[in-house]
Amino acid sequence: MHGSPRGGWSRRSCERSSAVRICGSSINSNIRTSATSRPTRATRRRRSRTVSKELLDKAVAASMKKDVPAFQIGDTVNVSVRIIEGDRERLQVFTGVVIARKGSGISETFTVRRIVNNEGVERVFPLHSPRVASVEVVRGGKVRRAKLYYLRDRTGKATRLREVKRPARPKAKPADE
């Protein structure tokens, strides 16, 4: 390595011309000396990460909804949201067209758009949120896009989507039969 302009040692390196020792490392730093010695810090950290991941997966699975409503992009839906005012709870219904669905697992969300007083209103709902009481499909829409953001630029009848009739999903039979 080159020295500093004033002739001193370089601060970037602990090496001295052709010295063998490199600053901060040892040849046998990752080798355990005996069977009774403690695991390395990296091993302990890895173990704690896997335990934390398992606990996190259990918590996520417990908080996910079992009966996820079946709706698609372009469907007109009624979303019932739990609103808590003081000590009482009520349901508020938001009706609109599903223009996007994002994410997966516990973090999956969907965006619903409607027009109120000639002004577009969009709300993003977490699919597995306990505040979302229910999602009911009013009518199915036929679209060929995954995201309907182009509806933001349209007004009036141009925002309408073609209706498609989908067969109702059969209800699950009880397991005891």
Is there a contact between 98 and 124 (Cβ–Cβ < 8 Å)? no
In the block, tokens 């601060």 appear at 11
* Cα 33 from Cα 126, distance rounded (Å): 52
Is there a contact between 126 and 113 (Cβ–Cβ < 8 Å)? no
Q: Using the predicted structure, report yes or no on whether residue 101 has a pLDDT greater than 50.
A: yes
Is there a contact between 143 and 91 (Cβ–Cβ < 8 Å)? no
Per residue in 64-96, pLDDT (tens digit) is 888 888 899 999 999 999 999 999 999 999 999
**What single DSSP character describes residue 4?**
-
In the block, tokens 């973090």 appear at 107
pLDDT of residue 36: 62
Q: How many helices (H) and strands (E) does the chain have?
A: 1, 6
Q: What is the mean pLDDT of residues 28-53?
A: 69
Q: Using the predicted structure, report yes or no on whether residue 34 has a pLDDT greater than 50.
A: yes
Residue type, 166: R
Q: Please state which CATH number belongs to domain 76-164.
A: 2.30.30.790
pLDDT of residue 8: 57
Range from 29-33, 49-53, 63-67 carrying the lowest mean pLDDT: 29-33
**How many other CB atoms are there within 10 angstroms of residue 100's CB atom?**
17
For the chain, the average pLDDT equals 80
pLDDT of residue 99: 96
pLDDT of residue 159: 82
Query: For residue 143, what are the contacts with CB-CB under 8 A and spacing of at least 6?
Result: 73, 74, 161
Closest-CA residue to 137 (of 51, 62, 71, 84): 71
- The domains of the chain are located at 76-164
Per residue in 127-176, pLDDT (tens digit) is 999 999 999 999 988 999 999 999 999 888 888 888 888 776 665 555 55
pLDDT of residue 27: 56
* Cα 147 from Cα 126, distance rounded (Å): 17
Phi, psi dihedrals of residue 26, rounded to the nearest 5°: -135, 150
